Structure formats: structure tokens, C-alpha cells
């Protein structure tokens, strides 16, 4: 699984011009599911993201997690994170999981996140969404359950 994690002040998701979910200060995660991903990948990434120490402590050092600051979490599915642009000019999405498999792992990821004492919002899987993100910092990290960045 791949995730783009942003520390955010606010985020929201709209579908067909209507806001379907919103999140206050915390993290916004764009989440992609690959062909070789499993529930273990989802659990690993959820735990990693929830416990990332990327919020500032009173001394100004990034030392606090989402749990420490009682932040909120917005998760939006994004298969394009598996786009391969190395050849030609049109991305290949051959490494992305088929939607039937991806939706199950996306939902499992959300289930794991909801087990923590935080507010979790999300987009709609496979919907055409307008995602608004107010990045705080900016702080943006790329995580992959299979590779180190």
C-alpha cells in the first residue's frame, strides 16, 4: 500500500458538488492499494500513520502523534499512486489492485484506523471526488508498506 500523508488544518471531500465528509486539524491520507497488498500491509500502514510523530511539541520539535494531539483523520482512496510514468507519457496502472480487491483493503484500513480513539472521515471508493486540503507546514510524507523512502 502507498500513502501520501499530509498534516492538515482542514480537509473535505465533495461528490457531485456536495460535501460528503470533512476533517479538522490532523492528517489527510491519500491511499493506494497495490496488486500484492494484503491485510498485513493495511494494518502496518494504519499503525504507522496514526503513530507518526509529525506534530510539534511545545518546544517546536516534531515529536507528537495524531493520538497525542487528538487530531482527526481523513482517508481518500487514490489508485493513481500506483501510476507508473517511466515509459511514454501515459501512466500505466498495472500495479494497482483490481477494484474488488482494493475496496476490501481500503475498508479494512479504515476499520483499523477507527479502532483508535480518533475521528475518521473518508471519501467514496471509486467516486469522482473534489478533495480540498489545507496543508499545515507544509508537512507531506510518502509511505509505502513495501519500500522505504
Neighbours of 49 (CB within 10 A): 23
Structural element, H or E, at residue 74: strand 72-77
H helix intervals, the chain: 39-51, 66-69, 99-114
DSSP 3-state assignment of 114?
helix
Q: Among candidates 43, 63, 16, 24, which has minimal Cα distance to 109?
A: 43
Task: Return d(Cα 130, Cα 112) in angstroms, integer.
Answer: 25
Structural element, H or E, at residue 66: helix 66-69
- Catalytic positions: 80
Amino acid at each position: 500500500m502507498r500513502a501520501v500523508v499530509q498534516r492538515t488544518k482542514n480537509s473535505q471531500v465533495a461528490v457531485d458538488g456536495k460535501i460528503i465528509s470533512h476533517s479538522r486539524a490532523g492528517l489527510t491520507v491519500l491511499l493506494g492499494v497495490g496488486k500484492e497488498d494484503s491485510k498485513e500491509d493495511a494494518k502496518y500502514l494504519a499503525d504507522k500513520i496514526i503513530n507518526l510523530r509529525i506534530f510539534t511539541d511545545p518546544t517546536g520539535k516534531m515529536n507528537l502523534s495524531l493520538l497525542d494531539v487528538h487530531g482527526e483523520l481523513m482517508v481518500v482512496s487514490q489508485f493513481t499512486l500506483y501510476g507508473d510514468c517511466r515509459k511514454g507519457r501515459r501512466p500505466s496502472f498495472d500495479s494497482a489492485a483490481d477494484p474488488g480487491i482494493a475496496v476490501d483493503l481500503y475498508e479494512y484500513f479504515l476499520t483499523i484506523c477507527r479502532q483508535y480513539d480518533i475521528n475518521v472521515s473518508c471519501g467514496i471508493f471509486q467516486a469522482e471526488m473534489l478533495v480540498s486540503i489545507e496543508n499545515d507546514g507544509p508537512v507531506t510524507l510518502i509511505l509505502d508498506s513495501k519500500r522505504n523512502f
